[in-house]
Structure 1
Amino acid sequence: MTSTLFSMITVLLFCVFAVVEVVESGIGVNWGTVALHKLSPETVVDLLKDNKIEKVKLFDADPDVLKALMGSGIEVMVGIPNEMLSVLSSSASAADLWVSQNVSRYMVKGGVNIKYVAVGNEPFLTSYSGQYQSYVFPALTNLQQSLAKGNLAGMVKLVVPCNADAYESSLPSQGAFRPELTQIMMQIISFLSSNVSPFVVNIYPFLSLYGNSDFPQDYAFFEGTTHPVVDGPNVYYNAYDGNFDTLLAALSKIGYGHIPIVIGEIGWPTDGALGANLSAARLFNKGLVNRVLSNKGTPLRPGVPPMDVYLFSLLDEGAKSVLPGNFERHWGIFSFDGQAKYSLNLGNGLLKNAKDVHYLPSRWCVANPTRDLSAVANHFKLACSFADCTTLNYGGSCNGIGEKGNISYAFNGYYQLQKQNPRTCEFDGLGIVTFRDPSVGDCRFLVGVTDGKSSGFRLNSGRIVSSLIIFWGIFTFVV
């Protein structure tokens, strides 16, 4: 074979593989399970398949979820909670056991298409104060060895989803990892590169807007802005591009500017804060999808979109911690019962609702209109310590329904969570069951579902919820 012919074949093969890479990239979703009213995993998998969503990112390795995904063909990223990193970093046998139970078991014919294992979730968040920092790389090393023992190292890639606060700059071109992370990032990214794994980053323009009153609102979206960021020859018209290129600059500074990038989480909430609403979420996600599918890339990586983008999130999670904000329970493109919140096309047609969802009967618990409600405070507090009352707060969709409306909303949330047990609507005679839907405008009074486990609380990537959270802000507002 002549050198010229060999060169031509090499170029041809390179082009073929490049095309394959583009075809494989796509839009997936995060499937979190920190919910009060849970659809069965089988119902959720059917929802994914009906919407032709071919990639899903999990925050743990729930066996019920993985069993439901068997035979679906959906590409899966399973997660390891941060709380497990310590033992996995110090014990090779613990890593072997985890891989055996949560990966090998499902990687069989007709099993689960596990492509990634996320080692921790945002373990370098500044709010963790370095709590998990020393565990990540040793855990990666042990898990890689465990995958190799199971002959899975070539099929399953380890990744470390990082929050965008891992890097910083005033301009994208000046991006750099936080000084205390530089050394460990060099270790981790060298590991990722040698194992042909991507760098996974979570980007949230909404949080930039939410946390900074001076942040230009239009810069958070993809429709153009009156406040572009000028960085030498490059001009940035949206926060996504600016954030992405800040990461690219940080990666380039440590010698890995060409590593593939996956967006592990990105989205917009629909409730629980000013700016968190249906129209804003639709505008953001529509712009994001169009941007990704256009293959436009960013100024520092033109024509090369991220390998994959995982929307956050698939479903609302009514039991998540509200420490970041009340919006934290409202990121879903679908409501808790699998109903599309707004019109959105992920590239395969408009969203389709979940099928065959089994609801409780159409009845609600509301404040008794014939009773004096002056002694309602403790009952209200009890109801909201179990149910999700975040929509009642300032900026929420139920913020304007008045004192009796707030009480009714709280009572009903608790009543539905208790599977409409008649005793749970008593509240010393202050509650009453009605068959008339008390929903007002955009404020929806829910009816629970019966085809899954309810009142479930679990650890999810450090986002821990307690059934005893007291909504003092709402309590003060009501009374």
Structure 2
Amino acid sequence: MFGSLLIFLNLLLLGASSDGSSFGNRDVDDSSSLSHPKADVGKLGLSSPVKTSVIHQTAAVVGIGANWGSQASHLLPPNTVVRMLRENGIQRVKLFDSDYDSLKALGKTGIEVMVGIPNDMLSHLAGSSKAAEKWVSENVTRHLNSNNVNIRYVAVGNEPFLATYNGTFLRTTYPALRNIQNALVKANLGNQVKVTVPLNADVYTSPDGLPSNGDFRADIHPYMLQIVQLLSENAAPFTINIYPFISLYIDDNFPVEYAFFDGNSTPVVDGSTSYYNMFDANHDTLAWALQKNGFQNLPIIVGEIGWPTDGDRNANLLYAQRFYQGFMAHLSGGKGTPMRPGPINAYLFSLIDEDEKSIDPGNFERHWGIFRYDGQPKYSLNLGTSNSGNLVPARNVSYLEQRWCIMKSNARPEDPQVAPSVSYACARADCTSLGYQTSCGGLDAQGNISYAFNSYYQKNNQLDEACKFNGLGTITRADPTVENCRFNIMIKPYFSGVGRISGCFEKTLAMVLGISIFLLANL
């Protein structure tokens, strides 16, 4: 990661890149690169340029879901997010933990909830049935009984079999799943709350890219059968994450049109079935893998599907809107896929941008939201669930003052203090909108530096000390936003009932200490 950061900084200080290189950590060995059964692009052929039109009319989509993550420096208050969910007609939500405040806010709303168990808890839960019973009591039973939260699923781990984990969670996922299932049964919740394991689509593969030849990955096949058997015995669903964007990200020859739903691609022909989009082909590769192993009736949930809006040349508002609107039309038609006709149960990824997600898979990781960090819609999207036919923004969002931190006009990019200052800012804030064909890819060197300074300044609640940068920074009240490159104003931190959660004093204190060390090191 740090090697990529140094390359990024060198390019940033020269201004916008013009050679087509990406600032993303493009790693074809990353697990995200295995998120689809690779279609034979030679057979598919390259298609015509992307059309700019999108589908605006969408019939009602029954029970659309969304992922609600929390890897952000400044979180919207849970009550604000829940109101967003309700006003946008989102009837199901998938969490990555069991945050008390989030679950309490979801109480009495009727929204169907999937709570999550992080991977770092799997070993503990796998080794102790008592620990599993305690977890269920504190994170499921309590909220069902006291807060009237409609918890329907427990996600045990999150993509624990990713190839890049090198088997870290292979031996603990199934035992943890079994113990949680037994704990639910012991709590008399076995029929009401179902277990599942959200898995990345690299758990199955096809040697020739045809869905009918799909099967589980050879190195994890026995582990997959254990999990699938338990799910089947308990009428629980198989949860899979499918990302057509990743296919395009890792393969320059991947046919763009095949990632979308509007029928402009050359199909993949599998016997008597033709697949016109990657989602259907990927989904049915899983369906075939289940059928080959005797589980053809196991329900499938699409745990994550989405398209990012920044951080890569293919991550933009136009493509994201086109993908989502096409997917909504696909869902509303109710046809399903060739192997699994009927309604599709899916959770969009994701609801809101998260500026503290790891960018190891790529700079796009912090830009998956259909809403910006402040709950404002990024583009027009008809979910088929609201009266307006469009996304409804968060209400009553509180922002910090209209102030920005920029590079002083008399400072020069070649100043020897610039590189370490920008390095410090980008390592601790978010510079992923800077790069080739990203939203801020057209900035000059001074603009890039100002963007980095402001990102750090806003993340640290506009503290004056966060705009020093060895005398290079200055605070302005004139918005430095340039065309599509937005210089953000951060939202105010909120305080929960059980502790300071977002933009808290402890974070600010740590930031002040960090700045002090940085300044002393550069005296």
Q: Confirm or deny a common fold (TM above 0.5).
A: yes
Which sections of structure 1, spanning at least 5 residues, go unmatched? 1-22, 457-466, 468-479
State how far apart, in whole Å, the 2-side matches of 1:25 and 1:160 are: 23
Q: In structure 2, which of residues 220, 224, 228 is the aligned counterpart of residue 181 of structure 1? A: 220
Is 1:305 the counterpart of 2:343? The answer is yes
Per mean C-alpha deviation after superposition, the further-off stretch among 225-234 and 331-340 is 225-234
* Partner amino acid, structure 1, of 2:356: A
Q: Deviations over 1:206-263 (max 9, x none)?
A: 0011111121000000012342111110111100011011111100100111211110
Partner of 1:254: 293
Distance in structure 1 (CA, Å) of the matches to 2:202 and 2:437 = 26
Q: Is the 8 Å Cα contact of residues 403 and 489 (structure 2) preserved in structure 1?
A: yes
| Structure 1: distance between partners of 2:133 and 2:184 | 8
1:204 corresponds to 2:243 = yes
Q: Which segment is superposed worse, 291-300 or 75-84?
A: 291-300
Q: 8 Å contact 2:61–2:331 — kept in the other structure?
A: no
Provide closer, same or farther for how the CA distance between residues 110 and 98 of structure 1 changes in structure 2, counting only shifts above 3 A.
closer
- Superposed CA deviations along residues 51-95 of structure 1, whole A, max 9, x for unmatched, are 121100000111121122122221100000111111111101110
Q: Which residue of 374, 377, 389 corresponds with 2:419?
A: 377
Mark the CA change 1:350 to 1:261 in structure 2 (over 3 Å): closer, same or farther.
same
Q: 1:265: which partner in 2?
A: 304
TM-superposed deviation, 1:454: 3.6
TM-score (norm 1): 0.88
1:363 paired to 2:363: no
Question: What residue is the counterpart of 1:406 in the other structure?
Answer: 448
Q: Output the amino acid matched with 1:353.
A: P
Partner of 2:100: 63
CA shift in 2, pair 1:226/1:104, >3 Å: closer
Question: CA separation in 2, counterparts of 1:385 and 1:305?
Answer: 43
Alpha-carbon displacement from aligned partner over 1:177-200 (angstroms, at most 9, x marks no partner): 011222222221121111111111
Which residue does the alignment assign to 1:421? 463
Check 1:372–1:185 CA distance in 2 against 1; reply closer, same or farther (3 A cut): closer
1:133 and 2:170 correspond? yes
TM-score by length of 2: 0.81
Cα gap change, 1:273 to 1:418, in 2 (>3 Å)? same
Q: 2: CA distance between counterparts of 1:152 and 1:111?
A: 14
AA of the residue aligned to 1:91: S
The match for 1:434 is: 476
Q: State how far apart, in whole Å, the 1-side matches of 2:245 and 2:503 are.
A: 29
Pair 1:151 & 2:188 matched:
yes
1:333-375 per-residue CA deviation (whole Å, 9 max, x = no partner) reads 0000000000111121310110000000111111110233412
Q: Aligned-pair distance for 1:455?
A: 4.9
Taking structure 1 as reference, are residues 226 and 64 closer, same or farther at Cα in structure 2, changes over 3 Å only? closer
Number of matched pairs: 433
1:423 positional shift:
2.1
2:61, 2:480 → 1: CA distance? 46
Q: Secondary structure at the match of 1:384?
A: helix
The Cα of 1:451 is off from its aligned counterpart by: 4.4
> Aligned-pair distance for 1:297?
1.4
* 1:194 maps onto 2:233 in alignment: yes
| Counterpart selection for 1:232 from 271, 288, 297 | 271
User: Which amino acid in structure 2 is aligned with residue 387 of structure 1?
Assistant: A
State the identity as a percent: 53
Of the three residues 365, 381, 392, the one matched with 2:434 is 392
Equivalent-residue separation in structure 1 for 2:265 and 2:358 (angstroms): 35
Counterpart for residue 110 of structure 2: 73
Query: Matches of 1:105 and 1:118 in 2, distance apart?
Result: 17
Unaligned 5+ residue runs, structure 2?
Answer: 1-59, 495-500, 505-510, 512-523
- Secondary structure in structure 1 of the residue aligned to 2:309: coil
Matched, 1:241 2:283: no
CA–CA distance in structure 2, aligned partners of residues 143 and 121 of structure 1: 15
1:319 and 1:70, CA in 2 relative to 1: closer, same or farther beyond 3 A? same
Structure 1 residue aligned with 2:150, among 106, 113, 117?
113
1:55, 1:226 → 2: CA distance? 31
- CA shift, 1:42, in A, is 1.4
Q: Match of 2:135, as an amino acid? A: W
* Partner SS state of residue 390, structure 1: coil
Find the residue that maps to 2:365 and give its secondary structure.
Answer: helix
Answer whether contact 1:383 1:414 (CA < 8 A) is retained.
yes
Using the TM superposition, give the Cα deviation of residue 296 of structure 1 relative to its aligned residue in structure 2, in angstroms: 1.1
**Per the alignment, do residues 332 and 24 of structure 1 end up closer, same or farther by CA in structure 2, a change over 3 Å counting?**
closer
Secondary structure of the residue that 1:26 maps to in structure 2? coil
Secondary structure of 1:224's partner?
Answer: coil
Q: 2:259 aligns with which of 213, 220, 231?
A: 220
The runs of at least 4 aligned residues of structure 1 exceeding 3 Å deviation read 453-456
Separation in 2, partners of 1:211, 1:355:
38
2:62 and 2:332 in contact (8 A); partners too: no
Measure, in 2, the Cα distance between the counterparts of 1:318 and 1:188.
33
**Contact 1:357–1:451 (Cα < 8 Å) also in 2:** no
1:451–1:44 Cα change, 3 Å? farther
Which of 135, 153, 175 is the aligned partner of 1:98?
135
Aligned residue identity for 1:352: V
Secondary structure of the structure 1 residue equivalent to 2:224: helix
* Structure 2 match to 1:353: 393
2:368 partner amino acid: W
Measured after TM superposition, the shift of residue 25 of structure 1 is 5.2
Instruction: Decide which of 375, 392, 398 is 1:338's aligned counterpart.
Output: 375
Candidates 21, 35, 48, aligned match of 2:85: 48
CA contact (8 A) 1:35 1:455 kept: no
d(CA) in 2 for partners of 1:115, 1:407: 47
Whole-Å Cα distance in 2 between the matches of residues 24 and 291 of structure 1? 9
Q: Which amino acid aligns with 1:442?
A: N
Q: How much has 1:395 moved relative to structure 2?
A: 3.2
The one-character-per-residue Cα deviations of 1:394-445 (angstroms, maximum 9, x if unpaired) are 2321121110001111111111111111221122221111111101111100
Q: Contact 1:168 / 1:177 at 8 angstroms: preserved in 2?
A: yes
Cα pair 1:425 1:433 within 8 Å, conserved: yes
Query: Does structure 2 retain, via aligned residues, the 8 Å contact 1:298–1:305?
Result: no
Q: What is the identity, as a one-letter code, of the residue corresponding to 2:333? A: S
Partner of 1:459: none
- Please state if 1:85 is matched with 2:85: no
